[in-house]
Structure 1
Amino acid sequence: MNLLRKILFPFAILYGWITSIRNFLFDTGILKSQAFSLPVIAVGNLSVGGTGKTPQIEYLIRLLSDKYNVATLSRGYKRKSKGFVLGDSNATSEILGDEPFQFFQKFPQIKVAVDANRVNGIEQLLSQSQKPDIILLDDAFQHRKVRAGFYIMLTAFDDLFYKDFMLPTGNLREVRSGVNRADVIVVTKCPTNISSDKQEEIKSKIRSYLEKDIPVFFSYIDYEEYVYSENEKISLKEFQVVDKIVVSGIAKPEPFFAYLQAVKKSAMVFPDHHNFYEKDIKEILETANGRKIVTTEKDFVRLKGKLPISQLYYLPIKSSFVTSSNEFDKKILEYVGASTRNS
């Protein structure tokens, strides 16, 4: 924790107090939450950034979209559009935001919408001629104006919520007791070889904050076996030995760099959700000096069209469970099956 964050500790106490009052007002019904008749699953966290919400949403899409009409609803962080927008043939990352645009390109069978006002966003989706059966709310754990039917709370293995502090001293958006709104908790970005003892240790510490029995699962980031460009794919094994640079504009990119064995001189780091401007593109091309450029899937949707097709590649990731994936799937499917009109 740096010195400035320590100095700002009194503001962290104040922020925690304000968010606790807000949650109390929603919990007691003084401030109103709106529920909907279809299943709504909210994925979020207690902290800012870097817990793996995007791969978790994609996991749910894969689990549900074969049987149900699925829609995702996001705020559309850093998009240049306003209000409710439904992804269509004119969609870009600037219109939808990078993560929703990634969903839109990757899963053509679903509806992808953005709206900072989640109540309005859901109402707009339900006004469509083909209504969704399920809505997945991206980054909506603190969005109390909607009362989702099922809450998935994520906490990253290397930044567990019970070790963190309130903003601005730490990264928590609300006090730790907010975990009790969750229906399941997923510890994300775990080592693939995390031991049973370590899992039990983390579960025990999480349970010390729980007022009810909430199941805890452990997941890790799984990388695909190929890297992709706009028009080809290359096996990762073959790509590992290619002379390349690695570019990232995501929170906590270190595991991505490590997986691609990127040395410091060939790794370019930009801020999370960075909009790549002309000067950035020039810097990337100069650093690459004709070499291939590999990036994350999120960054690819923002870099596509700005860098040469022959140079730009991305490595997709997905969320996989260390154990108990069937139990997690069962909880989701039981909730959806009991709540959807197709049950």
Structure 2
Amino acid sequence: MKKWVFRLLAGIFGAITRLRNTWYDRGILSSTHVTKPFTLVVGNLAVGGTGKSPLVTYLISHWKFSGTFGILSRGYGRKSSGFRWVDVDSNASTVGDEPLAYKRQFADLPVAVCENRLKGIEEMKDLDAIILDDAFQHRALKADLNLVCTTFSKPFFSDKLLPLGRLRESTDGIKRAHALIVNRCPDVLSEAQKEPFLQFDLPVFFTKVGYGVPVGNSAKNISTWHLFAGIADPLPFFKAAKKFGDILNQETYADHYAFQQADYQYWEHVAANLHPSVGILTTHKDYVRMEEHVGSYPALQSRLFYLPMQMEFLDQETEFWAWLTSLVPLNLKK
């Protein structure tokens, strides 16, 4: 019975999103292209967990073009609304965890949030380029470039529409993309493993995840960990954490989970009773969300660490930047 209901809801959802896309494609609903700044969307077809944030971080870190650029996000999970600039000392509850994480990593970079992307772009019009995080379904904007993310283990073309699966729209949406970024790949891929991703007549680039070492007060003497994560796909994080010692337990929260007082009290109790060789490890996004209140919980603050991660190309990094350079406007080329 439950599966039948999900199929019905997925059918209704699919009909609504197809109609919406058709209206945009035919001009019944207007889609605006801005000539300045240059707009690059990093998005996906599925709900969360496709590697958008690592790709945005990679683009910021390796940006090869002239002029000024910044990031615009809707600030998912924030309790505020409208346009806001993100400051280093902003709170995740006000601007969202991902925009705040970007700002903490790149303090001099303009980062803003706005659920209305066109309004946000207007506020940031003095920049030469904007990376729009998670705006592929924001069709009121016709971006200059759309980079669509998927994962090697859960490709969008093997998924189903919500709520049967994780798709926000049908796989036909890939036709609006300019390139497909396949994230979280194994270190080595055969041509046969790559082939299913090459069926869409798009440039395709394959990447993997690299993890750093735990960041916190001092992880030198810690050999055992409690783990928790409130992200869409925590399994890669849990797997990577095993490299840094034994795992006592691992707990999962919803994606972008807003930690409650009871959660802080629970982890404070855990931290207060830890052996000196035991720490608490989470993801960078979760760490950023907790920073607003963790100062009130001294034991937790002293034992809490996060595991940094980064995106790496398997073997096409030079080709990716050559492709991107060929498509940016002349005023951005050095």
Could you say whether these structures have the same fold, taking a TM-score greater than 0.5 normalized by the shorter chain as the test? yes
Q: Which residue of 1 aligns with 2:82?
A: 83
1:203 paired with 2:202, answer: no
Match of 2:266 among 278, 283, 286: 283
Equivalence for 1:93: 92
1:5/1:170 contact within 8 Å kept: no
Amino acid in structure 1 at the alignment position of 2:214 = V
Which of 231, 244, 252 is the equivalent residue of 1:250? 231
How far apart, CA to CA, are the structure 1 residues paired with 2:318 and 2:218? Answer: 31
State the alpha-carbon separation in 2 of the partners of residues 65 and 132 from structure 1. 15
When residues 15 and 111 of structure 1 are mapped into structure 2, their CA distance, relative to the original with a 3 A threshold, is same
Whole-angstrom CA distance in 2 between matches of 1:45 and 1:5: 25
Verify the 8 A CA contact 1:185 1:217 in the aligned structure 2.
yes
**Which residue of 2 is the match for residue 11 of structure 1?**
9
Please tell me whether the aligned partners of residues 283 and 306 of structure 2 are also in contact (alpha carbons under 8 angstroms): yes
Paired residue for 1:293?
A: 280
Q: Secondary structure at the match of 1:170?
A: coil
- 1:142 aligned counterpart, secondary structure: coil
Gap change, CA 1:321 and 1:6, over 3 Å in 2 = farther
1:197-235 Cα offsets, whole Å, 9 max, x none, are 2112x234xx1xx3xx311111111112x2212xx565x
- What is the CA–CA distance in structure 2 between the aligned matches of 1:245 and 1:6, rounded to whole Å? 39
> Structure 1 94/215 Cα, relative in aligned 2: closer, same or farther at 3 Å?
same
Match of 1:191 in 2: 186
The correspondence of residues 302-317 of structure 1 with structure 2, limited to 5 A, is 302-304=289-291, 305-306=293-294, 307-308=297-298, 309-317=301-309
**Counterpart in the other structure of 1:215:** 203
Specify which of 111, 114, 135 is matched with residue 140 of structure 1: 135
* 1:17-60, Cα deviation, whole Å (9 max, x unpaired): 21111111111212111111121000111111110110011111
Question: CA 1:186–1:94 in 2, change beyond 3 Å: closer, same or farther?
Answer: same
User: Which whole-Å CA distance do the structure 2 matches of 1:216 and 1:43 have between them?
Assistant: 14
Runs of at least 5 residues in structure 1 that lack an aligned partner in the other structure: none
> Is 1:227 aligned to residue 197 of structure 2?
no
Give the structure-2-normalised TM-score: 0.90
Specify whether residues 180 and 36 from structure 1 end up closer, same or farther in structure 2 by C-alpha distance, changes over 3 A only.
same
| Residue deviations 1:83-103 (CA, integer Å, cap 9, x gap) | 000113551211110000000
CA distance in 2, matches of 1:180, 1:86: 32
Using the alignment, how far apart are the partners of 2:330 and 2:173 within structure 1?
A: 24
Q: Is the CA contact (8 Å cut-off) linking 2:70 and 2:109 kept in structure 1?
A: yes
Relative to the length of structure 1, the TM-score reads 0.88
Aligned residue pairs, count: 322
Aligned CA RMSD, in angstroms, stands at 2.0
SS in 1 for 2:327: helix
Q: 1:63/1:5 Cα in 2 relative to 1: closer, same or farther (>3 Å)?
A: farther
- The amino acid of 2:282's aligned partner reads T
**What's the offset of the Cα at 1:187?**
1.1
| 8 Å CA contact retained: 1:39, 1:340 | no
